[in-house]
Amino acid sequence: MPCGLDGAIDMLSLKNSQTSSPNNSTTSRPTSKLTPKAPEGNPYYEIRAIPDKGYGCFALKDIKRGTRILTDKPLLIVPKPDYLLEDIEEAAKKLSPEELELYFSLSSSHGQDPTKWPSRVHASVQGRELQRIREQHLARISPTTSLTSIFQTNCMEMGLSAAVFPHASRINHSCNPNCNFTWNALLALETVHAIADIPAGAELTFSYCDMTKEKTLRAWELKHYGFSCDCRACAGDGGDPESFAHQSAERRFRIHELDRATKVLRGARLGEGARTPGFVNQLLELAQLHREEGDYSIRLARIYLDLALVCEIASDWKNGVECAANAVKVKRECQGADSPDYDKYEDVLRRIYLKSKAAMS
């Protein structure tokens, strides 16, 4: 899961640290034989073995976009994203034997070929960061599962902390996912929503990396999880202009261009953006590209919200109401109406709607 990735590795040898490998300690143990299952009573998915890929979560029936498929309590919480082994060990002390067994039944990215990784760290990387990189590297190339190998493969952001979730952590990756995960601080639960209409039998997927990045950068981020992605955005025929992979690559490139172009004028400087020629068209194109990519996530909700606010500044009430309604819908469908700042989205819609009514009277 996308959390606590390594910093750049270069220059200073990692080999010396092998004598103090955390995997020589009691934190290392065989992978549990526990057969993973979906939560008791969950009507949406089941877990099945996938040849050469471990396990996956598969839809038991057609699932509509916006459906909350899962809520999940954290199994092991580390209160800092730049975790060390000692932090995971401290958290693991609180687990019961059954919970520890469950923890060690999750997937692990250990056993990787060390020659596929840089063997040196830049000399400027020191202290805690150097220790963190060494520990994660050793967990990755160790022949056995460890607290660290499980944590770095499965941890998800949880506010300012990182946590492993017993069920959400089992959902596999796609760069073109059909599900979205979010930590809901009000519920103190990880929530998983469908961001596409998912047909019965399809695998549920998240993106573990920034899905807007291009393929080689995504592949580097995913290397930390010990696999190469074979989703339709990665494994399709990128040379065929008609293929999804080719069109997706072009869309992601353009998304990055537009993100760079609009970033400084979003947020606090949106008023300036509203007066900048071309800004609205750039946001509209950005929204269109995210929709074509199937990225009905909070990224799309935020673009619609900014478009609504720009329309409000320009007293364009009709488009303002439409964009605000889209922002509320996407926000609700990817995170839920009980997500922490959902009210802010509804407030914007209500305000612009009332202004549109006043303008017509």
- As measured in angstroms, the least distance from the Cβ of 174 to Zn ion is 6
Contact between 286 and Zn ion by CB under 5 A: the answer reads no
- As measured in angstroms, the least distance from the Cβ of 231 to Zn ion is 3
Q: Which stretch binds Zn ion (CB under 5 A): 5-13, 112-120, 144-152, 232-240?
A: 232-240
**C-alpha to C-alpha distances, 262 to 102, 218, 259, 267, 314, nearest whole angstrom:** 45, 23, 5, 10, 18
C-alpha to C-alpha distance for 54 and 117, rounded to whole angstroms: 23
- As measured in angstroms, the least distance from the Cβ of 5 to Zn ion is 16
- Binder among 47, 91, 158, 234 for Zn ion (CB under 5 A): 234
- Binder among 63, 133, 147, 229 for Zn ion (CB under 5 A): 229
Query: Residue 227 or residue 345: which is nearer to Zn ion going by CB?
Result: 227
Which tokens belong to 67? Answer: 């459906």
Q: Which stretch binds Zn ion (CB under 5 A): 28-36, 118-126, 233-241, 272-280?
A: 233-241
Helix axes 244-262, 279-293, angle to 10 degrees: 150
Q: List all residues 6 or more positions away from 179 whose beta carbon is below 8 Å from its beta carbon.
A: 69, 171, 192, 193, 194, 195, 198, 204, 205, 206
State the number of CA atoms in the 13 A half-sphere of 304 facing the CB.
27
Please work out, in degrees rounded to the nearest 5, the angle formed at the alpha carbon of residue 319 by the alpha carbons of 314 and 323.
110
Number of residues that bind Zn ion (CB under 5 A): 5
Binding-residue pattern over the window 161 to 200 for Zn ion, x denoting contact by CB under 5 A: --------------x-------------------------
C-alpha to C-alpha distance for 87 and 194, rounded to whole angstroms: 33
Residue that has been written with the tokens 């007066």 in this structure: 275
C-alpha to C-alpha distance for 144 and 140, rounded to whole angstroms: 9
Q: Which stretch binds Zn ion (CB under 5 A): 55-63, 231-239, 271-279, 336-344?
A: 231-239
- As measured in angstroms, the least distance from the Cβ of 215 to Zn ion is 7
- Binder among 102, 231, 245, 330 for Zn ion (CB under 5 A): 231
What residues make contact with Zn ion under the rule CB under 5 A?
175, 229, 231, 233-234
